[in-house]
Each structure stands twice: as C-alpha cells, then as structure tokens.
Amino acid sequence: MDFQLPEELAILKQTVRRFVDKEMIPLEGKSLEGGKIKPEIKAALDAKAQALGLWLIDVPQEFGGQGLGLLARSVVWEELGRTVALPTRGVSITGPDVRPILYALSDDMKEKYLYPVIRGEKRCCFAQTEPDAGSDPGSMRTTAVRDGDSYLINGVKRFITGADEADFAQVMAATDREKGSRGGISCFLVDMDTPGIRLTTQYRTFTEEAPWEIVFEDVVVPANHLVGEEGGGFRLAQQWLGVGRVKQAARALGVTERCLEMGAAYAKQRITFGRPLADRQAIQWMLADAAIAVHGARLMVYQAASRMDEGGDARLEAYMTKLYCTEMAWRAADDCLQIHGGIGLTTDLPVERIWRDQRSHMITEGTPEIMRMVIARTALRAAP
C-alpha cells in the first residue's frame, strides 16, 4: 500500500499550484463582473492553461482530450480549489464543461451535441431539481410522455445553473411516475430554443451564482434525444454525480489548505495586546484542527478517486468524502474568517467569498443529511 502520489502526478500538482499562485490568486477581487468572469481574463487564463497542458483533462482521448484519470483530475481540482478567481461552478480553466452523460450518445447525436461542447461551440445545463423534488428526485413531477416519434415534456425545473447561456439542457423527466427513481426516470437532450420552454425566474443567491427556473409546456422532443434507455436516466445521472462529489471534495480540500495558509499568515502578523494572535491557544487550536482535517481529507479524496480509476464501486466513498470535505472546508472558512476578525468581513480579502461559497457547497451535490442517511443505511445493512 503506497500513500504517495506517483511522480508524474506530484509534478502535475506542483505545476498547477505554481499556476494558481502566479496567475490566479493575484486576480482575486478583479476577475468577476456581476458574478461572471471577465471575458478577456478568462481568455488569457485559458491560453496559459493550454500552454501548460491542462486543457481537456477530463475528456477521453478517443474524443480528443487527455483522458486523465480521476486521481489526476482530483490533484488538479485540489489546487484550483485554493483560489476564488473563478465563479464557484460552471467555469473552469481546464476546458469546456463536458458532462459525462454525453459520451453515452449515438454517433449522430455526438456530432450534434458532444463535439460542439468539446470545441466550446455549445453549452449544456443539467436540469433535474424541481420545486418539490431536490434531494428526492424520485418524486419529480416533470413528465415525458411518448407520442409517436417524439416525447412531450411538461414540468418545472428550479435552481438550474447556466440555463440562460445553455444551447441545450440535459433534462431528467419521469416516464413512469410509479417506478420513480427505480426505472421511471429518463434523460433527454432538449434544445433550449424549442417552443414551449420559458426561463421564468432567476434566483439571486449569496454567492456569485444566479440559477434559473425553467418551465416546460408541451415541449416536443424527438425520440432519438432520449439518452440511453427509457427509465435509465437516474442511473446515468448518479454515475455523473459520483464523480461530481469527488470533484467537489477535492476542491474543498484545496479551500481548506488556502484557509490554513491565510489563517496562519495573518495570525503571525496581527498583534493584539502586545502579542501576535499566533500565541493565543484559541487560534492555535483552529489552525491545528484545519491541519489535521487536511491530512485526513487528502487520504479520503485520493482513495475514492483511485478506487474509481480501478473500476471499483466507490459510491459510498464518494458520499463520505463529499460530506467530510465540504463540512471540513466550511469549518475552516468560518475559523479563517474569525481569525481575520473585521477585515475578514470585507471584500478586500477573499475570506468572506470563500465562506459564502463553502456554505453553498454543503447543499449542492447532496446535502449533509442525505449523505448521512445513505451512509447510515449502508452501515445498518452490514450490521448482524
């Protein structure tokens, strides 16, 4: 059993860290306008990332990408998590957001949707959450009814990030409501300019994100826009969400490292009552807790990613890792803000932005309550 990163991944990690420190952290507070990264800054970052070989790291080689494994990607995500120069989700300096479910398309549909996304010509959003179906997708009310050579979709989706910029949506809909998530949910690719689609409400959050509500009214979707088999959509989505949970955990690991760095540096320079904050036991314990958490979290992230790379079933590890790392990052961000005191509340430093982002991340990709429910259910099944 080897707990060390392979040499090539250790080199990759250091390469990304240098890039983050030199090119991204200096942009914090300057790169975003209205929650979106400035186009000229994004273009410059993309060009530099491509020059370093960081482009399309998660796209399989057969589709023109580098096809890095999940452990390698986790190493990259960990380092990128150390900066808030980019919006929290949906934007990366490693290439377009290619959703894994697109690789399951037929050859004709890949030409229409997958390759344009890889080339940056089209964008996709993921539409699953509904007003009454968030953590429980099996209760979704959006329906897709077969009508000859097409499906008729009706329903409402809520909190859909990037819906206003998407060319098409990956829509989860019930094709058999009685079966629910056990074979009754299907996935469709729906062009956003299809008649019957309306963006109704944009939700302003305390982060830079502003997701949308989408209404589908008698939206006609060709039958060949069904992804995979009818009733197999939930399974496909879970495969993608498992990787997404490891990704979120890896980024949370990087966030915690950054909070530890900032907290320790400020504690050494801030003088109170004639002594630096670093001399105070209360502050030392905050930093110690963050250091311990980083050590444990890194082992969890790397192990879960490695198991997925080996083809193992790491769903439980993904749940555990996402839960532990996002809660860890939230505590570290809260302690870092506390260490900084009043200056931490200002936008002069990235601390308050990190604090807001991490509270948001405890909700997305599965709430702590849902994570614990699944983990406990597994433990109970294993008990004699």
202 near 211, Cβ under 8 Å? yes
| Dist CA 320 CA 308 (whole Å) | 14
Which fold, 7-98? Butyryl-Coa Dehydrogenase, subunit A; domain 1 (1.10.540)
| Dist CA 169 CA 163 (whole Å) | 8
| Dist CA 146 CA 144 (whole Å) | 7
Q: Which candidate in 79, 208, 213, 365 is catalytic?
A: 365
Radius of gyration of the chain, Cα coordinates, nearest whole angstrom: 22
Query: Of 196, 337, 185, 315, which Cα lies nearest the Cα of 266?
Result: 337
Instruction: Render pLDDT for 154-207 as a digit per residue (tens, 0 to 9).
Output: 999 999 999 999 999 999 999 998 898 888 999 999 999 999 999 999 999 988
Question: Once rounded to an integer, what is the mean pLDDT over residues 245-274?
Answer: 97
74 near 305, Cβ under 8 Å? yes
Per-residue model confidence (pLDDT) at position 34: 74
| Dist CA 323 CA 34 (whole Å) | 30
In the chain, ranges of CATH 1.10.540.10 domains: 7-98
| Dist CA 65 CA 70 (whole Å) | 14
**DSSP-based three-state secondary structure for 286:** helix
In the chain, ranges of CATH 2.40.110.10 domains: 124-231
Q: Please state whether beta strands 271-272 and 185-191 pair in parallel, antiparallel, or not at all (unpaired).
A: unpaired
Question: Among 87-101, 216-230, 283-297, which is the least confidently predicted range?
Answer: 87-101
- Given a cut of 80, is residue 2 above it in pLDDT? no
pTM for this model (two decimals): 0.94
Q: Residue 323 belongs to what H/E stretch?
A: helix 315-340
Whole-number average pLDDT of the chain: 93
- Given a cut of 70, is residue 90 above it in pLDDT? no
The crossing angle, in degrees rounded to 10, of helices 315-340 and 233-269 is 30
Residues forming a β-bridge with 146: 151
In the chain, ranges of CATH 1.20.140.10 domains: 234-382
Per-residue model confidence (pLDDT) at position 89: 65
Q: At 211, is the pLDDT very low, low, confident or very high (cuts 50, 70, 90)?
A: very high
Query: Of 88, 8, 97, which Cα lies nearest the Cα of 254?
Result: 88
For 234-382, which CATH superfamily applies? Butyryl-CoA Dehydrogenase, subunit A, domain 3 (1.20.140.10)
- Given a cut of 80, is residue 68 above it in pLDDT? yes
With 0-12 / 13-18 / 19 or more C-beta atoms within 10 angstroms meaning exposed / middle / buried, residue 354 is buried
Query: Which CATH number applies to 124-231?
Result: 2.40.110.10
- Given a cut of 70, is residue 46 above it in pLDDT? yes
Active site residue 111: no
Q: Residue 332 belongs to what H/E stretch?
A: helix 315-340
Instruction: Render pLDDT for 216-227 as a digit per residue (tens, 0 to 9).
Output: 999 999 999 999
CB atoms within 10 A of CB 287: 20
Q: Please state whether beta strands 271-272 and 275-276 pair in parallel, antiparallel, or not at all (unpaired).
A: antiparallel
Per-residue model confidence (pLDDT) at position 348: 93
Half-sphere exposure of 94 (CA within 13 A, CB side): 24
**DSSP state letter for 22:** I
Per-residue model confidence (pLDDT) at position 1: 66
- Given a cut of 80, is residue 263 above it in pLDDT? yes
Instruction: Render pLDDT for 321-363 as a digit per residue (tens, 0 to 9).
Output: 999 999 999 999 999 999 999 999 999 999 999 999 999 999 8
**DSSP-based three-state secondary structure for 315:** helix
Per-residue model confidence (pLDDT) at position 345: 96
What are the DSSP calls for 56-122, one per residue? Answer: TTTS-GGGTS----HHHHHHHHHHHTT--SS-SSS--SSS----GGGGGS-HHHIIIIIHHHHTTS-
Q: Please state whether beta strands 143-147 and 150-160 pair in parallel, antiparallel, or not at all (unpaired).
A: antiparallel
Tokens, residue 123: 């964008």
- Given a cut of 80, is residue 245 above it in pLDDT? yes
Question: Once rounded to an integer, what is the mean pLDDT over residues 112-125?
Answer: 95
Identity of the residue numbered 382: A
How many residues can be counted in the chain?
Answer: 384
The crossing angle, in degrees rounded to 10, of helices 70-80 and 7-19 is 30
366 near 245, Cβ under 8 Å? yes
